[in-house]
Amino acid sequence: MLLGAARAESEALWYWPALDTPFLPETTQHLDSLRKPVSENQTMVSVFSGHDAHLAVARDGRVLGVVELERRERRRYFHPGLDDDADGAWARALRDARRLAGVEVFDVGVYVAVPTAVFPSALASIARDWYAADHHASHASLAYYDALSRGYVWPLVLSYDGGGNDGFFAVFEPTGDLARPLRRLDASSRRWERLNLGSGYALVAEQIPEVAKCAPRNRRDDPGVDAYCRNRTASQRDREHLAGPGKMNGYASLGTPTEHDVSLLTQNIRDALKISLRSLDVDYADIAASAQRAFEDIVADEIRGALELAGRRPDALAVAGGCALNVGCNTALHRALALPVTIPAAPSDCGIGVGALYSAQPPPLDAPRDLMFAGPGLFDLDDLPSLAADRRAEIFTDDHALANKVAQLVAAGAIVGIARGRSEHGPRALGHRSLFADATSPRAKARLNRLKYREAWRPVAPIVAAAAAPALFEAGEHWRSPHMSVAPRFTPEACAQLPAVCHVDGTARLQSLERVDEPWVYAVLEALAELTGEPVVCNTSFNRRGEPILNTAAEALSLLCEEPELGYVVVEDALFEKCAACPGACSDPRDDL
């Protein structure tokens, strides 16, 4: 066992054994049965079959890559249990995973348990030995080793979301034992076994008209919307449920929390109960802001309680689980606790398979653990030479020259799509599948939101050279944020200088970048500093509305030709310009025209 969990008697109320998962291979053992890590020279694969289904692959404890099924199947939050072609989707993902590892059969397989999901029986033969891992234990392992990779040695670990086989809200502390590095804190005194904050927050989001298409007011006011909501599929309901909290987190910035609403929503979010908005004040933005404040206060209070229960003062708080995507709460924890807060690149269920691998075999000390770009390369990379020739692309043989060219185009007002290298692992676009625009342009945010068909209030993130961040953000607010996980406050001067990335509340969803994180994107920032005065680029994900981040050159070029605001696309070392690549769609989409 590499993740010990001392389960209190009260946990029987919500805990169900991972080995009870339907269709597990008969010889499957629980990961707790491991008395020592998986031996060296072993290949491992982990399987997660809930929403955000994926396979993660490792050799000798080093993660080789993560295959998220949504990227090939083109359906966000892909859930095999809600798809008619689940077997086909798994087969396509397995081909990618085998290619990453260079094997047909893995030495060890780890299945991560989750309610409402079953083991995909078609995968039973892909590993010689199978183990089952608990949900929050796997999240915690990912967050723990991510924090260690950042130089912390004794992090308190929080995992919380809408629920796994081992509960909703779990806190772990280090043990100092390399074989059993984490111990789950006894939850009985604080009723963590019932603290389903993920569902509680989502239930509020589902009632906000600007956030949820099927919110009661929208259904009442529009018969077409009501008909859609009555007839939508289970998969559509699942996607909307998962997308709502992220949208409400941004929308909340438009409102002001009220003491009355915060008080009412606190109990409802704690108990994951649906609340009638008739009992609240009528301004939906204020309701969203009140829900956000209630959520932040609950989490901060529970972590203060965890600190009292912990045996030793930690040097950081490491957070994972779907709720770790709540940028506002991450920021509030930074401010409320005298602790650094770390968030891995993929803290939600799309990264849980990596945590399961780490539970079976901890990563070597010299292994890169920042898995920002652990996704696959472009699926149609072999087609790029012919696409470049047919679409008259300019080919660059020098990365620095390409970075300078992109910076020149951005500074001149163009929006440039980027599809280079391996894709991001997780939900954030961090520079490999991104749309870049000029952060100093007053119009860039509106143009990007038009291109993405998004509401005007949706925030757009800055990528900032890490060394420049302290001068841009208020004192005490320039935290290290390589994965766009927090929203510190800009100084008033920076907000005026960078209007495209300054949110309505004066914050920014920061991605602070070191050269070692991504040298090519860093070179773009350096070139922009020379051209605009700021080593900052406006960044959002490169995808169609409602679809996952793209991963083919063909889709990137299709968007170039379809979207008037998109002027250029970089695919690996090829620069495609709209007029050359799409003669019928030729226009000059520069910001200053």
pLDDT in tens, 470-528: 999 998 887 889 999 999 999 999 999 999 999 999 999 999 999 999 999 999 999 99
pLDDT confidence of 7, banded at 50, 70, 90?
very low
Mean pLDDT score, 266-295: 85
User: Which of the four pLDDT bands, split at 50, 70 and 90, describes residue 63?
Assistant: very high
d(CA 365, CA 379): 31
CA–CA gap between residue 137 and residue 6 (Å, rounded): 12
Q: How confident is the model at residue 9 (pLDDT cuts 50, 70, 90)?
A: very low
Sign of CA dihedral 144, 149, 150, 153: positive
What SS3 class is residue 550? coil
Q: Classify residue 310 by its DSSP letter.
A: S
Q: What is the CA radius of gyration of the chain?
A: 23
394-395 sheet: strands from edge to edge: 394-395, 574-577, 566-571, 415-419, 433-437, 536-541, 461-465, 511-513
Q: What is the mean pLDDT of residues 182-186?
A: 93
Give the contacts of 251 (CB within 8 A, at least 6 positions apart).
Answer: 208, 210, 211, 285, 288, 455, 457
> Structure tokens of 516?
């070692």
Show the CA angle centred on residue 252, arms to residues 247 and 255, nearest 5°.
145
pTM here is: 0.94
261, containing H or E segment: helix 259-271
Domains of the chain: 3-149+350-360 (3.30.420), 197-299 (no CATH), 381-585 (3.90.870.20)
Per the listing, tokens 């961040």 go with: 469
CB 70 within 8 A of CB 62: no
pLDDT at 5: 31
pLDDT > 70: what percent of the chain?
95
Across the range 86-103, mean pLDDT stands at 96
Query: Which of the four pLDDT bands, split at 50, 70 and 90, describes residue 193?
Result: confident
What share of residues in the chain are helix, strand, coil (percent, to 5)?
A: 40, 20, 40
Question: Strand ranges (DSSP E) for 432-483?
Answer: 433-437, 461-465
Q: Read off the pLDDT of residues 289-347 as tens digits, 9 standing for 90 and up.
A: 999 999 999 999 999 999 999 999 999 999 999 999 999 999 999 999 989 999 999 99
- Residue 12: band (very low, low, confident or very high) from pLDDT cuts 50, 70, 90: very low
Looking at residue 6, its pLDDT comes to: 32
**Which pLDDT score, from 0 to 100, does residue 495 have?**
96
pLDDT of residue 280: 65
Q: How would residue 590 be classed by pLDDT, with cut points 50, 70 and 90?
A: low
* Strand stretches in 22-98, DSSP E: 29-30, 43-48, 54-59, 62-68
Cα–Cα distance list, 539 to 67, 254, 463 (Å): 24, 21, 7
If one compares 12 and 322, the residue with the highest pLDDT of the two is 322
What is the predicted pLDDT for the residue at 194? Answer: 80
Q: Give the pLDDT band (50/70/90) at residue 3.
A: very low
Which residue type, as a one-letter code, is found at position 296? E
Q: Given this model, what pLDDT does residue 587 score?
A: 62
* Residues 416-439, mean pLDDT to the nearest whole number: 97
Mean pLDDT of 569-592: 82
pLDDT at 10 over 50: no
Of 298, 300, 283, 198, residue with least CA distance to 249: 198
Q: Which of residues 583 and 76 earns the better pLDDT score?
A: 76
The pLDDT score that the predictor gives to residue 389 is 97
Q: Are 460 and 500 in contact (CB under 8 A)?
A: yes
- The mean predicted confidence, pLDDT, of the chain is 92
The strand pair at 536-541 and 566-571 is best described as unpaired
**b/e per residue, 315-331, with b = 16+ CB within 10 A?**
ebbbbbbbbbbbbbbbb
pLDDT of residue 479: 81
pLDDT in tens, 359-408: 999 998 777 667 999 999 999 999 999 999 999 999 999 999 999 999 99
**Residue 564: pLDDT above 90?**
yes
pLDDT at 272: 82
More confident site: 117 or 182? 182
Is a pLDDT exceeding 80 seen at residue 278?
no
Contact 465, 535 (CB under 8 A): yes
Residue 151, pLDDT > 80, answer yes
At residue 170 the predicted structure's pLDDT band, cuts being 50, 70 and 90, is very high
pLDDT at residue 4 above 80? no
The 10s digit of each residue's pLDDT in 110-138 is: 999 988 789 999 999 999 999 999 999 99
